[in-house]
Structure 1
């Protein structure tokens, strides 16, 4: 009896504990500006978001900034207004293109009346890309038994010797053939004792997919070490996910000539992205760009508005020309079951050109 009473007394304090609700104060909301304009015809996209450093509920920390008035003003006084095409994304008119030698500023007015502007960015010339080559590469990972396999793109160009050049490379969304095996399709079992039965489909084994990811690898360089020389630069790595290189992959490389200040900002971003995550790494910091608040000069605004000349080169990567690839992923079904695919080739698809 004494032992039972002891158990009851031990349980009473536990049952009377009230849950403790953590109510953290919201973090500072920072305006973030992402995008650039180039000498290619638009539309060019500017993305506006609000970020929280932390919050009591860790949801919606990055939110689009809607219904802002956004325009680009050049050094000759011409103002071009952008249109909101989706929440927080603003586009220039389709025929808009920056001009070499002019400077451009991005101007923003939010619904609450807050106004922001970038410092002027001058459009500097960039040399053309002579060619783009590619090669299979394997990158070591934390798992010694599994490497990252993919394709590295290399831009070849002649750097002019009469000017200081700052380069910024990135790629437009890639596109590729999705190869499936509808002949391997089987009916799902209707009962645990009923095995799958072969039911090959007549269509479709070839589809096309344009990648939608916002995550972009980029590369930068200055011509301090190769001024006036013919040179090459590794501009991106495209990982083989088992689907991209089953047949043909289309990549479009952009080589942009940016300002020295834009290059400095991109270099800091690149350094922060390469932080390994060890205890010896510097803590991540907000990198201030060229955007300022006209209402409060002390307000931190994230991002950088870039105006640049650009040269673009397209390359088609064919599986049979790769030294090695990842293990192909088998799709035992209609290729149209893969999200965002279509059986019609994109209008720009021309691997034989």
Structure 2
């Protein structure tokens, strides 16, 4: 028996580092899949990541969803593209760096140490006999700096007139020049999650559980320096809003990346933001009507979704603690002697119940 489930939406994978933001768009189902590319290369000393996936198509085969009962599912979600050869190329020197596939569809470059300021870099992707490339880009030379702050407030959210949220803001010091720079902000979060501490003979607490995610994935914060006449001046921006929940019972970090990008990259994200604001529904990569910067070398008419960014980046972090929260927060994982084990939430028992978590502190966790 076959069970077909048609969702009728495109979900495109765009990511910073190892997390995935989600934006949905309706897209006509075509005869063959389309490649989706999401990646960014920066000057930071950290793994550089590219995500590859493919859209749905009329020819897509169903997945085996239930092996025991032989139930198949056909959905319209992009599927990770495995087995591609992904290479970063310095066009001026011809030097390549090869990415390694660390998870299905996730390709990482760990040994990139940067190039000269005049180097033009592009991404090359080989999938079978198809070859894709991004337009060559230079890492911009100028960037501003961030001074972060947070504030808690009540706000109306749909039918809730008294929702609690936190605002993450930056007082940006702009580059000391007039125009010819373009800035974008990306924000991710990491928080300590208190697993249930069950009594034991050795009084051993559960391991640390650090959960990662995006607090406000549909917010696209941009600055066009050509529209300002404030060299070295200040600009205040809201870079994220986040509803307050039990994740604020312990230390909750917000990592803010200011990205200095090219004019073409700025225009791409500006068009994405317009689409988001008009529809209220996004997932990191727009339909084909918003042109990215990748193309098929042998078939320029093929539409490739997504974007590969080359940016100068600067990282700032800020965190909140339970003492900062002016609202009541109940403890969802507190041990109760009369409570059966199966009555606890899975996330109270196992850190792996979160889709993106780890049981060790990031190396920067205690830096501040």
* Interval containing the TM-score (normalised by the shorter chain): 0.7 to 0.9
After superposition, the Cα gap between the structure-2 partners of 1:155 and 1:312, relative to the gap in structure 1 and judged at 3 Å, is: farther
Q: Distance in 2 between matches of 1:285 and 1:73?
A: 26
Q: Distance in 1 between matches of 2:77 and 2:127?
A: 19
Q: TM-score with structure 2 length normalisation?
A: 0.72
After superposition, the Cα gap between the structure-2 partners of 1:215 and 1:315, relative to the gap in structure 1 and judged at 3 Å, is: closer
After superposition, the Cα gap between the structure-2 partners of 1:312 and 1:170, relative to the gap in structure 1 and judged at 3 Å, is: same
- Tell me if structure 1 keeps the 8 A contact 2:288–2:305: no
Gaps of 5+ in 1: 1-20, 186-198
Task: Indicate the residue corresponding to 2:70 in structure 1.
Answer: none
Q: Determine helix, strand or coil for the equivalent of 1:126.
A: coil
Post-superposition CA distance 1:61-110 (Å, at most 9, x none): 31111111111112422221111111111111344335544321111111
- Tell me if structure 2 keeps the 8 A contact 1:336–1:343: no
- Tell me if structure 2 keeps the 8 A contact 1:70–1:108: yes
Shift of 1:219: 1.9
Task: Give the count of matched residue pairs.
Answer: 310
| Larger-gyration structure (1/2) | 1
Please report the RMSD computed on the Cα atoms of aligned residues, expressed in angstroms: 3.5
Q: Distance in 1 between matches of 2:328 and 2:289?
A: 37
Aligned residue among 130, 141, 154 for 1:125: 141
Residue 34, structure 1, aligned to residue 34, structure 2? no
Shift of 1:128: 4.2
Shift of 1:34: 0.1
Q: How does 1:255-270 map to 2 (within 5 A)?
A: 255-270=258-273
Task: Indicate the residue corresponding to 1:46 in structure 2.
Answer: 50
Shift of 1:321: 2.9
Q: Distance in 1 between matches of 2:250 and 2:77?
A: 39
- Tell me if structure 1 keeps the 8 A contact 2:167–2:238: no
Q: Determine helix, strand or coil for the equivalent of 1:347.
A: coil
Post-superposition CA distance 1:191-227 (Å, at most 9, x none): xxxxxxxx99945378331315698354222121353
- Tell me if structure 1 keeps the 8 A contact 2:195–2:350: no
Q: TM-score with structure 1 length normalisation?
A: 0.75
Aligned residue among 137, 142, 152 for 1:136: 152
Aligned residue among 218, 221, 224 for 1:222: 224
After superposition, the Cα gap between the structure-2 partners of 1:290 and 1:344, relative to the gap in structure 1 and judged at 3 Å, is: closer
Aligned residue among 125, 141, 157 for 1:108: 125
